[in-house]
């Protein structure tokens, strides 16, 4: 490994860790992962490591499994050539937004993105995130989708990028363990995307409270060989046109006058019920 000591957060080597924005990472075909657990999941999923930043006092314990994984998965040559920047905590604390996260950061190369058609092949149960923009919600939905047996997650273009560091962290690395695809701007019209999924054989299930909504524990819906669960944006939910275009409208029964759940909580319940 090429250990490089950093004593100034303004050093140009720190640009990727301190000054590169999420859109810039995406444009460059890279992303930033943080914490050893998330980094290990990314490596195990086949993402290529590019550089690493480690707090000096984390080298021997937390970084050691990461170094071992790089050698095992990427080869000794990659491990020896990887730039590993080390810095004390007081230097790293100058990176805005990192004061709550300790230990390790790594830049990695993105994989080529799949088309919607390729993504949908051979899948029976998918979650469709329509303009879900809160990173914590997207991370939690990914974690539930992976844990409860969904085959993949499809996101519209306005939805937050699953490889942003907060989404990956909240998901506990499951963004690297379950297939996902992101629709282009042109493909992200809700009604058109709903019809496209139907043309691929999916029955679409809109999570929405309407007069004709059925309870989520519905055997008729479960019996369908292919289901796409549509989840709407945090503020307004799914549009009326998408709800009307869907094959089913599903609700979660509520108590104590509560009319809805957070989209991440609703997703977990719907995945559990529809996977039975």
In tens, the pLDDT along 25-77 reads 999 999 999 999 999 999 999 999 999 999 999 998 899 999 999 999 999 99
* Nearest residue to 15 (alpha-carbon basis) of 76, 83, 74: 83
Query: What is 2-109's CATH number?
Result: 3.30.1330.30
SS3 call for 121: coil
Taking only the tens place, the pLDDT of each residue in 174-202 is 999 999 999 999 999 999 999 999 999 99
Q: What is the pLDDT of residue 95?
A: 65
Q: What is the pLDDT of residue 211?
A: 81
Contact call for residues 5 and 88 (beta carbons, < 8 A): no
SS3 call for 36: helix
Q: Is the pLDDT of residue 22 over 70?
A: yes
- With a pLDDT cut of 90, the percent of the chain lying above it is 80
What are the structural domain ranges in the chain? 2-109, 116-274
Taking only the tens place, the pLDDT of each residue in 66-123 is 999 999 999 999 999 999 999 988 888 766 445 545 689 999 999 999 999 999 999 9
The domain 116-274 is placed in CATH, from the list 3.30.70.580, 3.40.1280.10, 3.40.50.11540, 3.30.420.40, at 3.40.1280.10
Mean pLDDT of all residues belonging to the chain: 93
Q: What is the pLDDT of residue 74?
A: 97
Rounded alpha-carbon distances, angstroms, from residue 5 to 1, 8, 200: 12, 9, 53
113 by Cβ neighbours in 10 Å (0-12 / 13-18 / 19+) ranks as exposed
Q: How far apart are CA 59 and CA 22, in angstroms?
A: 26
Q: Is the pLDDT of residue 164 over 70?
A: yes
């Amino acid at each position: 490994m090429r250990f490089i000591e950093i004593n100034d957060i303004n050093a140009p080597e720190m640009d990727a860790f301190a000054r590169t924005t999420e859109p810039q990472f995406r444009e460059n075909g890279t992303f930033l992962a943080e914490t050893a657990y998330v980094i290990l999941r990314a490596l195990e999923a086949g993402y290529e490591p590019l550089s690493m930043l480690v707090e000096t006092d984390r080298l021997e314990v937390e970084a050691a499994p990461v170094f071992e994984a790089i050698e095992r998965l990427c080869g000794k040559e990659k491990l020896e050539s990887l730039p590993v920047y080390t810095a004390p905590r007081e230097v790293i604390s100058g990176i805005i937004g990192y004061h709550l996260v300790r230990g390790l950061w790594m830049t990695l190369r993105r994989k080529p993105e799949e088309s919607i058609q390729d993504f949908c092949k051979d899948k029976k149960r998918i979650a469709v995130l329509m303009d879900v923009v809160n990173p914590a919600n997207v991370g939690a939905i990914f974690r539930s989708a992976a844990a409860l047996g969904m085959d993949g997650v499809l996101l519209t273009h306005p939805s937050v990028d699953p490889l942003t560091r907060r989404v990956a962290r909240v998901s506990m690395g499951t963004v690297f363990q379950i297939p996902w695809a992101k629709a282009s701007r042109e493909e992200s019209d809700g009604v058109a995307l709903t019809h496209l999924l139907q043309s691929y054989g999916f029955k679409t299930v809109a999570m929405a409270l309407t007069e004709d909504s059925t309870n989520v524990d519905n055997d008729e819906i479960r019996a369908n060989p292919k289901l796409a669960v549509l989840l709407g944006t945090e503020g307004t939910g799914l549009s009326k046109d998408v709800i009307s275009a869907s094959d089913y409208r599903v609700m979660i029964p509520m108590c104590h006058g509560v009319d809805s759940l957070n989209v991440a909580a609703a997703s977990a319940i719907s995945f559990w019920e529809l996977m039975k």
